[in-house]
Amino acid sequence: MVDVRPFRAIRYTELAGDPRNLITQPYDKIDPEMQRAYYDRSAYNFCRITLPMENDKYRIAQHRFQEWLRKGILAKDDQPAIFVCRQEFALDGKCFTRTGIIAALQLYNYGEDMVFPHEITYKEPKADRLNMMRNVQKDLEPVFLIYSDPERATLCFFNEVAKTRPALMVEDSFGVKHTVWRVAEPTKIRLLQKAFETKKLVITDGHHRYESAIAYRDERRQMEKKWSMDSAFNFHMSLLVPIQDDGLLAFPAHRLLKKHALTDEAMDMLEHFFTVTEIDATAKSLENFLESHRNEHSFCIYSDAKAYGLILRHDDRVYEFVSSKSSKETKLFDVVILRDVIFKEILRTGKLKLDQDILYERWTSKAVERVDRGEAKLAFLMNPIDPKFIWQIAQQHERIPEKSTDFYPKPVSGLVMMDISPGEKLKAK
């Protein structure tokens, strides 16, 4: 049974200033330039907590958080609540809304078949977030999960709540409008808890945070003799969004290789597996090619002001180079073909390290710009994966490569935080 609970949120007060100058993108989406810009916006910008620039960042974050609480910059709610969170945004002239709830979700081991991952994780990011939790003892950012609501019970709940006065409205630097409603009425909370009891949840963003929280939970259970299932460290602040929401959009995470070039030998090998066509070297042409071949395992390559469109040949040989541990379904994901055929077999990249060897980019135009600026030698572009496929494949206990999906927009950080320090309890009902 999935257990979601209200919690006494920690939030910015009016003393902190304009919320626009306080909120940030998630910590793992903040590059050095964004980090400096966030610092310049406010002495209380949330980046100073979730990703400090200073040395000894974990101690700095802990000290800063406690100082802001003492000064009244941050304050903890008197009563527990859940939060309905709506994001309104525009893409290509079309308007979208995405709505979910922020609540305390009980942490489940993956083997319990309540919460499912869909991407591979790595030790370094998990160690980073675990150290942050040990020092600050707060959930600073939510894990983002999806669930199915064919009866639309939670969607109707969200719509009713959205008719009331919000607790906060703020627009982020990407032009996304975030609206938050606080729901504290016990009858409404129980109604929502009942709706989630039988749900299955799939992580979309925050795999490393979730697994770090599991590790932190297990540590606290060893350290605290009198812990109970009501102890807050058994939960993690989470954003839960139904897959039936029309605003649930996923983009591809295009791959940029910093050290590998497109040699004549590589082009010859590509033609064994793909139909290769030279196309106009513009972002629009790249996007048009991918869109017109959406269901054909198509890719684009951009390098040295030249662009190529690739379409997978219908040849069983391709499966020789796909991991034997993957299911038939995951072998058909473009991102798996890119990794196992193009990267591993053709380019012989070996293990790619983030920032040293590989970069990820959401937008086609920016991927092209970054290659032109010399930040990378090659850009590989692909179509997005439908969130419903992610939902299905995760429940088969399959994982696809890291950064396979890029759900947009990201939940901004700094709206609410959750206390998981020793002694903090979350009531079941």
Q: Could you report the per-residue pLDDT of 206-219, keeping only the tens digit for each?
A: 999 999 999 999 99
3-state percent breakdown (helix, strand, coil) of the chain, nearest 5? 35, 25, 35
Nearest to 148, CA basis, from 329, 389, 386, 391: 391
CA–CA gap between residue 141 and residue 203 (Å, rounded): 14
Q: Cis check for the bond before 52: say yes or no (omega within 30 of 0).
A: no
Strand 235-242 to 143-147 pairing? parallel
Q: For 24-28, 82-86, 292-296, 315-319, which range has the lowest pLDDT when averaged over its residues?
A: 315-319
pLDDT at residue 331 greater than cutoff 80:
no
Please report the beta strands in 220-330, taking only residues with DSSP state E, as ranges in sequence order.
Answer: 235-242, 249-251, 254-257, 274-279, 298-303, 306-312
Stretch 80-105: mean pLDDT, rounded? 96
Are 84 and 12 spatial neighbours (Cβ–Cβ below 8 Å)?
A: no
**Average pLDDT of the residues of the chain:** 93
- At which residue do the structure tokens 């626009």 appear? 20
- Cα dihedral 387→392→395→399 (10° resolution): -60
User: What is the tens place of the pLDDT at every residue in 246-280?
Assistant: 999 999 999 999 999 999 999 999 998 899 999 99
Confidence (pLDDT) at 181 = 98
Please give the C-alpha separations between residue 427 and each of 85, 194, 216, 268, in angstroms, as whole numbers.
22, 15, 20, 63
Are 372 and 216 spatial neighbours (Cβ–Cβ below 8 Å)?
A: no
Stretch 234-247: mean pLDDT, rounded? 96
Confidence of residue 120 (pLDDT cuts 50, 70, 90): confident
pLDDT at residue 79 greater than cutoff 80:
yes
Tokens standing for residue 334 = 């473009």
Q: Mapping DSSP to helix (H, G, I), strand (E, B) and coil, where does residue 411 land?
A: coil
Stretch 41-50: mean pLDDT, rounded? 98
Confidence of residue 313 (pLDDT cuts 50, 70, 90): confident
Confidence (pLDDT) at 325 = 42
- At which residue do the structure tokens 């330039």 appear? 33
The H or E element spanning position 64 is: helix 57-71
Q: Which domains does the chain have, with CATH numbers?
A: 4-249+409-419 (no CATH), 253-383 (3.30.1760)
Please give the C-alpha separations between residue 208 and each of 27, 119, 120, 122, 418, in angstroms, as whole numbers.
12, 10, 9, 8, 18
Reported as half-sphere exposure (CB side, CA atoms, 13 A), residue 33 has a value of 0
Stretch 385-397: mean pLDDT, rounded? 87
User: What is the tens place of the pLDDT at every residue in 17-33?
Assistant: 999 999 999 999 999 99
pLDDT at residue 293 greater than cutoff 80:
yes
Confidence (pLDDT) at 306 = 96
CA–CA gap between residue 333 and residue 318 (Å, rounded): 13
Burial class (CB in 10 A: 0-12, 13-18, 19+), 70: exposed
pLDDT at residue 399 greater than cutoff 60:
yes
